[in-house]
Structure 1
Amino acid sequence: MSERAAYPQEETGPESGATVLAGRGLHRTFGSGATEVHALAGVDIEVPAGRLTVVRGPSGSGKTTLLNLLGGLDRPTSGEVLLDDGRVLSGLPEKDVLAVRRERIGYVFQSFGLVPVLSAAENVEVPLRLQRVPAGERSTRVAEALELVGLARHAGQRPYELSGGQQQRVGIARALVSRPDILIADEPTGQLDSETAATVMDLLVELTHEQGIASVVATHDPILMGRADQVVELHDGRRVGTTA
């Protein structure tokens, strides 16, 4: 990771330790009648700036559902997702939710989610194109993001030319290129071998603390749990414990 460099900070941002994102009484139900499933049942959670929050639990416990609600990818059946600016994310019109997702939230997926025909740099650039950032600024910010994750020399390579760990680092760069203050990652090391997973985990922890990002990560990985600032445990859609 010797290529890593400091990433430009925004002049203002959430104070470290301040709650940036919160869930209050989150319920999410799928189906109805005999097929009704309670994926979440009254979950409360706070995600502070500059802290790594890990959500753990067995398969089917509601981890992905919770992340989808926090990230504005889904809406709760009841309860609220709150932003630090006082807005209720889960109650905003869809166009406003989309704006929050583009401007404030970065996503990292287990399956990497890269476009095969695009280079690493082009994949990282996608969020900036959606935001209609001018070309010159896009180039600068893409270069900065790839430098940050140690992939500056791989900018022109396509996903099939990169290892799994490198692909996930491209995914992290893409999540960070918009300079979000919230990072949401669903099993980001789930498809990686243990050594590569450790490298990606180190990167996530360092970036969270160094950049003051409010990070929430769903994982089964005990090593990442051990490096979290808080661990939220779910079971059958309910929060059963927290470890700070």
Structure 2
Amino acid sequence: MSPETHGPEAHGPGDSPGTRRERRERARAAVAPVLVAERLSRVFPTPAGDVVAVADVSLDLRPGELVALRGPSGSGKTTLLNLLGGLDEPTSGTARVDGQDLADLDESARLALRRTTLAFVFQAFGLIGDLTARENVEVPLRLRGTPPTERDLRVDAVLGAVGLAPHAHQRPGELSGGQQQRVGIARAIVAEPRLLLADEPTGQLDSTTGTEIMELLAEVVHARGLAALVATHDPLMLERADRVLRLRDGRLVDD
């Protein structure tokens, strides 16, 4: 389904695609963006010459919006996510999260932002092998100094939300790939971030499990009002997205 015809708003059978797009854009404009990137570029110098990984990218993300980022390998998706999450610095342009220009933040301030406002979901899960699923999910709250009683309530809630309550005391090696990714999603949302960045979250999963994870991500984003950008090749995730952005050679070529 194309981004022109997919979205959270209801529409009547007589609506044209143009009318639905206009309604969606009015709804988006009424809500302040969580993330704004303006003319963002990243160039890597090499002995053979400069490599342009991201070129002049402008975009915004708003609460409750699931945006898919598509493009072939090497198109710049991971680099763009790293720039938007403050893991890398742009060669030019700006990225602002909740109005804060990431370039104005030192490393400790960026770390604090990643603990409170934005979260990542990785293709490789990124779990700590010696910790149980519950303990992995607790990590962001422990880093924030969340009181134990509140921590327990929030961890219980997100483990239940992702369907992992019966597996709370199992370690990653005792879980399937899909279950491990569910732990990763629970860990990402337990601190109630406003922005979620996901890099090929279904890349290591079979198609059936991947579909379950995509459905879970869409449900979490819309139910919790997150702004989410998901880099993916998966056509089913593209169908679930409210908008689809496409990168080619580091540039956004359509929306």
Give TM-score scaled by structure 2 length.
Answer: 0.86
Matches within 5 A, 1:124-135: 124-135=137-148
Amino acid at match of 2:210: A
Larger Rg: 2
Hey, what does 2:36 align to over in structure 1? 22
1:110 aligns with 2:106: no
Hey, what does 1:58 align to over in structure 2? 72
Tell me the CA shift for residue 32 of structure 1.
4.2
1:233 aligns with 2:246: yes
Amino acid at match of 2:175: L
- Cα deviation code 1:77-128 (max 9, x no counterpart): 11000123x3212331222111111100111000111111110000001111
- Cα deviation code 1:2-30 (max 9, x no counterpart): xxxxxxxxxxxxx9853110111011011
Amino acid at match of 1:174: R
Amino acid at match of 1:105: L
- Cα deviation code 1:34-81 (max 9, x no counterpart): 242110110111111101011110000000011111111111111000
Identity %: 56
- Quick one: distance in 2 between partners of 1:29 and 1:164? 35
Hey, what does 2:26 align to over in structure 1? none
Q: Which runs of 5+ in 1 are unaligned?
A: 1-14
Equivalent of 1:197 in 201, 204, 210: 210
- Quick one: distance in 1 between partners of 2:171 and 2:233? 29
Matches within 5 A, 1:1-244: 17-32=31-46, 34-84=48-98, 86-242=99-255
- Quick one: distance in 1 between partners of 2:154 and 2:83? 28
Hey, what does 1:3 align to over in structure 2? none
RMSD (CA atoms):
1.4
Tell me the CA shift for residue 31 of structure 1.
2.1
Aligned length, in residue pairs: 227
Give TM-score scaled by structure 1 length.
Answer: 0.90
Amino acid at match of 1:142: V
Amino acid at match of 2:116: E
TM superposition outliers: structure 1 runs of 4+ over 6 Å = none
Tell me the CA shift for residue 142 of structure 1.
1.1
Q: Is contact 1:182-1:213 (8 Å) kept?
A: yes
Hey, what does 2:13 align to over in structure 1? none
- Quick one: distance in 2 between partners of 1:135 and 1:35? 53
Hey, what does 2:4 align to over in structure 1? none
Q: Is contact 1:81-1:88 (8 Å) kept?
A: yes
Q: Is contact 1:17-1:50 (8 Å) kept?
A: no
- Cα deviation code 1:186-224 (max 9, x no counterpart): 000000000000000000001111110001000000110
Q: Secondary structure at the match of 2:220?
A: helix
Q: Secondary structure at the match of 2:48?
A: helix
Amino acid at match of 2:193: P
Q: Is contact 1:17-1:51 (8 Å) kept?
A: no
Q: CA 1:196/1:16 → structure 2, altered by over 3 Å: closer, same or farther?
A: farther
- Quick one: distance in 1 between partners of 2:48 and 2:167? 52
Q: Secondary structure at the match of 2:57?
A: strand
- Quick one: distance in 2 between partners of 1:18 and 1:156? 40
